[in-house]
Amino acid sequence: MSLLHSYVKVRARERGRALPRATVRHVHLAEAPMVFVPLRLAGEAAAPLGAMVGTDPARPKLLVVPQPRNRDLRFQFLADLGAVLLPYVDRISRQVETVEAKTPFDRCLDAPQIVVPSPGGVEFTAKLGRSSRFRRTTGPYAVDPAVPMLGRWLTFLAEQSEFAGSSLMVAMTDLLTAHWVTGQSAAEDGDLAALLGWIDPPEGLTGPEAAALADDPLSPPAGPDTHPEFDRQELQKAIEHYDATGSAAQVEEALHGQLRPTWDRMWQAIGLLAALKESPGATARWERDRVHVALHRAWIDGGGLPQGKRDSAVAAAKRLARLEAAQQSFEATRAFDDPLVMAEYRADGVAFAGEVVAVDLTRRIVPPGGKREVPRPLVTIETADPVRLAKGKKVRSPSRPRQSATIADITETTVTVQIDDGMGRGGQPAEGSVPGVGTVICYTELDPGESRRAPLPPREETPWTHGGPPPEYVPTDDDAMEPWS
Amino acid sequence: MNRLDAIRGTTPGQDHNARSIAALAANPACDRRAVLDAAAIDKPRLMRRLRFDDRWGQSPFAIQRNQQFTDLVKANGAAHLLRLLRTLLDLPIEEAGYVNLEDAGGNEGHVARHGHTRRIIRQTAEGRGRATILDRPLLRLDVAGAQVYLEPDVIAFQLGGRFHIVAIKSFAIVDDQADTPKVSAAAREAAVYVHALRDLVGRDLVSHDVILVCPRDFTNEPTATTVDVRHQLVTLARQLSRLTRIDTILDRLPAGLSLDVDALPAAQIEAAVAAIPARYAPQCLSACELSHLCRREAHDLGHLDALGRIVRDDLGGIESVQTALRVATPGEPVADDQAEIAERLRHVARLYDEAVA
């Protein structure tokens, strides 16, 4: 968050309508995203109540659990969900290309994309994955073969969603708040209906009016939790009706009424996002997503075990490092791709922009640790931005992402940077390799490249401070038979 | 406290419970909440009277689930609980006394039940009882001069040791991890019980580690863990001491102010509520029954607080939406203490307009 973001919030409040936060779309939208709107039973950790799922806005598939406390019906729900999701995942993930590189690797031609309404939906998906991936398909408590396979993919997708910039599983409210600023608080933005009310209100309504409509306790929430009033007045009776007659019609009708409005909003939101042009960074991140899907596909096809319950010390440290690298690279790439995002960093003083007013092309110095003199030209930029970068800070420019520079001097209105590389091999900087006088240029401390990380030991060499080498994880019959009540 | 009774009028008051006492800590700067709580105003009733929707109910499924789980943990003389306590507190096998405190000689009244609890707990503390598990105790706490009765799930006692508050909750601990907001809510609530029990037997005899009993993974099987509530205890003590200073807030209110929910017309109640200054912030939405009323009021007045803490902090010193936009416009006159933020806002406004264009 930045002062700019807070200011735009105030402006959106005054205007009664959301304002743009980005000029391009920083997420990849698949050709056929799979929209998944799940609901769970109140008071339970992972008891599915129903879901609307599918890739066609006009034909959602409604799945319900007419008696959510019945264990067999829950697994039937997961099997039904698997029958929708697994063919989708399989069809896409089995088309693989081999990318030529020093070590060639596989990459899927496309990847699955699951869109849920809110971060709560991602969390619930992870719980569903956890409760189904260890199930056995033979012996006591056997389940449909689709169930454990679905559990593994749901777990994989939910885990990937923790990486900044991954588009495999995304929460719609997160996507919308990354691209628009509303005149309500972050907590209220967590409600899909209210958020969309600000961004794209119905004809004749202002943003706050549309959000107030969404706030009505009787308007269906985006899940995964249902409204207590709905539970009391409709759902309880419908479930009792099922218990008495065996007919799921009432439960289906009640849940359809709760899910359909959110389903339609999901597609409305996808339409809004699709209207924005995709940023180059989003396309590049999608390529990485496709590599991850190919890796997981190969792991499953090669007979790999389901994901463990807890990471070992080394795996956890590696994962944390990857999460941090993804976050840093995502933030920087977003700013490099989008002047509106960069403006937030300029407002906070970690980036600045302005016109080049002076260039010293002839400057040569002996760099620290070096022996020969090398060209290190100085470029002076006039800027009105409140620069908070210190002398000696490494900076880069979105218009020259491959060239690094160092801040050499700062005055009230100017910043002088020393260009460090990317000037050719000659005694003088190559033509055009240094920004000329009159150029408008932006520099920032953000670096979209992935920083090098300290290597971590292999799992056999886990140090004693971290419990020593962990035992090999093998799923047990206990896991498979874990009661689910 | 006559003034508080006058504010409540003839409408019956609403008793505090552990959850409502814990909620006092949510927004300490809010006079409105402090006055309504001290006067024991029935807030949901007040909101219904002003035609705001009631949205504080709990799902019947959640209530049912909670009840089932609590029954399971306490079944057969709290057998499950004893087993868990043995591992957690290293209880020897012979410590297995179970006392149900609900039955106070056929007397159902709060006073009698509390008296019974107090007697048994004192005996236990002095080593004159064999109780390890004290089921359905009734504690008492003084909140702003009013006696509040509190019913913790269970109190456990370790022979020659200390009392522990046991909280039985039905949210799951999956792979040793539970939902953070739910754990903190449970900790805040348990801290109220610890505080009340310390009032009774003294500080040293009650542990600040409460025992949280939850279902493990996706099963019904109970598992137990300790939660340190020292931090929550400090916050709570501060809130309670603040409530006793309610007089200074009352002195600032107009004379004759009344919130008699059943007797007065709605317009008059609304005006009376408006006369007590509120401090709305979006966090109130999940903690206070009045929040929707305060939110509407805050937006009508253009308060920046209503846009969230970050906005308020970023635009430090500016109170309203209108002021913020005015000082961000070049050429508008600006007060001295707002000169710095005005300059930054004008720069930010220019940046935004350039980038969007």
Q: Can you give the three-state secondary structure of chain A, one letter per residue?
A: CCHHHHHHHHHHHHHCCCEECCCCECCCCCCCCEEEEEEECCCCCCCEEEEEEECCCCCCEEEECCCCCCHHHHHHHHHHHHHHHHHHHHHHHCCEEEECCCCCEEEECCCCCEEECCHHHHHHHHHHHHHHCCCCCCCCCCCCCHHHHHHHHHHHHHHHCCCCCCCCEEEHHHHHHHHEECCCCHHHHCCHHHHHHHHCCCCCCCHHHHHHHHHCCCCCCCCCECCHHHHHHHHHHHHHHHHHHCCCHHHHHHHHHHHHHHHHHHHHHHHHHHCCCECHHHHHHHHHHHHHHHHHHHHHHCCCCCCCCCCCHHHHHHHHHHHHHHHHHHHHHHHHHCHHHHHHHHHCCCEEEEEEEEEECCCEECCCCCCCCEECCEEEEECCCCCCCCCCCEEEECCEEEEEEEEEEECCCEEEEEECCCCCCCCCCCCCCCCCCCCEEEEECCCCCCCCCCCCCCHHHCCHHHCCCCCCCCCCHHHHHCCCC
Cα radius of gyration (chain B):
25
Q: Residue A484's pLDDT is what? A: 53
Mutate to test the interface with B, among A3, A24, A179, A198 (most CBs of B within 10 A): A3
* B349/A232 Cβ within 8 A: no
Mutate to test the interface with B, among A9, A123, A216 (most CBs of B within 10 A): A9
The residues in A 53-72 lying below 8 A from B, measured between CB atoms, are 68
Chain B residues close to A215, C-beta within 8 Å: 292
Select the residue of B55, B62, B306 nearest A217 (Cβ to Cβ).
B55
The region of weakest confidence among A20-29, A123-132, A419-428, B156-165 is B156-165
Residue where the block lists tokens 């959640």: B62
Token readout for B200 is 């009774």
Tell whether A243 is within 8 A of chain B (Cβ).
no
Mutate to test the interface with B, among A2, A8, A11, A13 (most CBs of B within 10 A): A13
Contact between A297 and A93 under an 8 Å Cβ cutoff? The reply is yes
The C-alpha atoms of residue A383 and residue A397 are separated, in whole angstroms, by 14
Q: Give, as one character, the DSSP assignment of residue B346.
A: H
Token readout for A458 is 């292999």
Residues A34-45: tens digit of each pLDDT: 999 999 999 888
| Ramachandran angles phi, psi of B183, nearest 5° | -65, -40
The C-alpha atoms of residue A402 and residue A408 are separated, in whole angstroms, by 19
DSSP SS3 for B4: helix
The strand pairing partners of B212, in sequence order, are: B167, B225
Q: Residue B161's pLDDT is what? A: 77
Q: Give, as one character, the DSSP assignment of residue B218.
A: T
Chain B residues close to A347, C-beta within 8 Å: 344, 347-348, 351
DSSP SS3 for B62: helix
Q: Residue B16's pLDDT is what? A: 76
Chain A residues close to B292, C-beta within 8 Å: 215
Residues B308-345: tens digit of each pLDDT: 989 999 998 888 999 999 999 988 888 888 888 999 99
Confidence of residue B131 (pLDDT cuts 50, 70, 90): confident
Q: Residue B38's pLDDT is what? A: 80
Q: Residue A222's pLDDT is what? A: 84
* A228/B64 Cβ within 8 A: no
Who's near A52: CB < 8 A, 6+ residues apart? A35, A36, A37, A60, A61, A62, A63, A259, A260, A262, A263
- Choice between A328 and B9, residue whose per-residue pLDDT is larger: A328
**Plot region of B130 (φ>0 → left; ψ -120 to 50 → alpha; else → beta):** alpha
The C-alpha atoms of residue B173 and residue B214 are separated, in whole angstroms, by 6
CA A337 to chain centroid: 17
Select the residue of B321, B347, B355 nearest A340 (Cβ to Cβ).
B355
Closest-CA distance of chain B to residue A173, Å: 17
CA nearest B324 in A: which residue?
A: A10
User: Which residue ranges make up each domain of chain B?
Assistant: 2-57+245-314, 60-240
Token readout for B248 is 């200074």
CA nearest B309 in A: which residue?
A: A185
* A43/B65 Cβ within 8 A: yes
Q: What is the sign, positive or negative, of the torsion defined by CA atoms of A70, A75, A76, A81?
A: positive
- Choice between B13 and B73, residue whose per-residue pLDDT is larger: B73
**Plot region of B29 (φ>0 → left; ψ -120 to 50 → alpha; else → beta):** alpha
The C-alpha atoms of residue B194 and residue A358 are separated, in whole angstroms, by 70
User: Which residue ranges make up each domain of chain A?
Assistant: 3-309, 339-444
Confidence of residue A161 (pLDDT cuts 50, 70, 90): very high
Closest-CA distance of chain B to residue A330, Å: 20
* B349/A7 Cβ within 8 A: yes
Who's near A83: CB < 8 A, 6+ residues apart? A146
In which element (H, E) is residue B232 found? helix B230-243
Sheet order of strands, B222-228 included: B97-100, B131-135, B154-157, B163-168, B209-215, B222-228
Chain A residues close to B58, C-beta within 8 Å: 42, 228
CA nearest A384 in B: which residue?
A: B347
Q: What angle do CA A183, A188, A190 make, to 5 degrees?
A: 120
Q: Residue A478's pLDDT is what? A: 63
Residue type for position B275 = A
Closest-CA distance of chain B to residue A85, Å: 23
Q: Residue A485's pLDDT is what? A: 47
Closest-CA distance of chain A to residue B231, Å: 25
As a whole number, the mean pLDDT across chain B is 85
Chain A residues close to B63, C-beta within 8 Å: 43
For domain A339-444, the question of CATH label 2.40.30 is answered with yes
- Choice between B55 and B178, residue whose per-residue pLDDT is larger: B178
Q: How is chain B split among helix, strand and coil, in percent rounded to 5?
A: 50, 15, 35
ipTM for this model: 0.87
Q: Residue A408's pLDDT is what? A: 94
Contact between A226 and A45 under an 8 Å Cβ cutoff? The reply is no
Chain A residues close to B223, C-beta within 8 Å: none
| Ramachandran angles phi, psi of B213, nearest 5° | -110, 120
Token readout for B3 is 């003034």
What average pLDDT does the segment A96-123 reach?
92
Tell whether A32 is within 8 A of chain B (Cβ).
no
Tell whether A478 is within 8 A of chain B (Cβ).
no
Q: Residue A276's pLDDT is what? A: 96
Token readout for A337 is 């791709």
The strand pairing partners of A180, in sequence order, are: A20
Q: Residue B107's pLDDT is what? A: 63
Chain B residues close to A226, C-beta within 8 Å: 59
Residue where the block lists tokens 């401070």: A465
The residues in A 312-371 lying below 8 A from B, measured between CB atoms, are 339-340, 342-343, 346-347
Find, among A14, A224, A3, the residue nearest to A122 by Cα.
A224
